[in-house]
Amino acid sequence: METLEFIGVLEREGGLLADAAAAAGPDAAVPTCPGWRVRDLLRHIGTVHRWAASHVAEGHAEPRSPDPLPELDGDALVTWYQEGHRRLVEVLRAAPADVRCWTFMPAPSPLAFWARRQAHETAVHRVDAESALGGARRTPGVLAPLTPEFAADGIDELLRGFHAGDRSRVRSDPPRVLRVRTVDTGQVWTVRISADPPVTDDSATGPADCELSGPAETLYLTLWNRLPLSGVSLSGDASSAALWRELSSV
């Protein structure tokens, strides 16, 4: 996907998130984020949007600390969230292709990184906001589907980005191999889990202890622990999938 496409997804998903949060209300529990209420979700994602925008707009070469979470609530909190989301979209659209700033995962450019990362950050949290509506998101895409292309990209970012670094808690001794296969986009990822950070490639051959397969959107939300494992096809050693479930939270 191109950078402008990610910005378009960010704009759409952020609007859907605001709609779902306003409909659910600030006191509603967020089942996909145990312990959170909608107000916690809005304060978190609104702060992240402002944090991301500041790196691009101000050209920070080093990571800056996020602003404190706001004390706002109710309609004022929704409005504050919408303002930060709109600002992020505007900053990314206006930024030059060669903008230089800090990033925390490999990418073709800082602008490509922030557009992609914030699109996925917002899409996953949109699903969280929808979960507060009382189960409307039990089936992927009920309210607004994620495209297979975008969901598959999110799987790639999760496996090759977040879980390629030392901060990933996904470890196993003895080693295990987990394979992930999308049935709609035809992509495959093989994740080698050991005492070191996981190593992922796009090979489709060789033995695997466990394979998860299904539509890209379902796998994306399952690997992000937003849907249960029962929604995808599982073959092989179920304990390898359970290990992912237990240790992969970001």
pLDDT at 203 over 50: yes
How does residue 142 score in pLDDT terms, banded at 50, 70 and 90? low
139, pLDDT greater than 70: no
Other beta carbons less than 10 A from residue 173's beta carbon: 8
Opening angle at CA 139, ends 4 and 217, nearest 5: 35
- Contact between 13 and 123 under an 8 Å Cβ cutoff? The reply is yes
Tokens at residue 215, please?
């539509």
Lowest pLDDT segment from 29-33, 194-198, 246-250: 246-250
Question: Nearest to residue 110, comparing CAs of 101, 119, 123?
Answer: 101
Helix (H) or strand (E) holding 191, with range, is strand 188-193
3-state class of 219 per DSSP? Answer: helix
Given pLDDT bands bounded at 50, 70 and 90, which one contains residue 138?
A: very low
Q: pLDDT, tens digit, for every residue of 220-230?
A: 999 999 999 99
> Which residues make beta-bridge pairs with 211?
179, 235
| pLDDT given at position 136 | 53
The DSSP symbol for 8 reads: H
Q: Which amino acid is at 26?
A: P
Q: Spell out the residues 6+ positions from residue 136 whose beta carbon is closer than 8 angstroms to its own.
A: 130, 142, 143
The residue ranges of DSSP E strands in 194-242, in sequence order, are 199-201, 210-214, 233-236
C-beta separation of 140 from 218 below 8 A: yes
Q: How far is CA 182 from the centre of its chain?
A: 17
Stretch 174-196: mean pLDDT: 97
Report the distance separating Cα 23 and Cα 89, nearest Å. Answer: 23
CB atoms within 10 A of CB 33: 20
User: Could you read off the pLDDT of 45-101 as tens digits, one per residue?
Assistant: 999 999 999 999 999 999 999 999 999 999 999 999 999 999 999 999 999 999 999
Cβ pair 110, 97 in contact under 8 A: no
Sheet with 199-201, edge to edge strand ranges: 199-201, 188-193, 176-182, 210-214, 233-236
216 has a pLDDT exceeding 80: yes
Contact 33, 146 (CB under 8 A): no
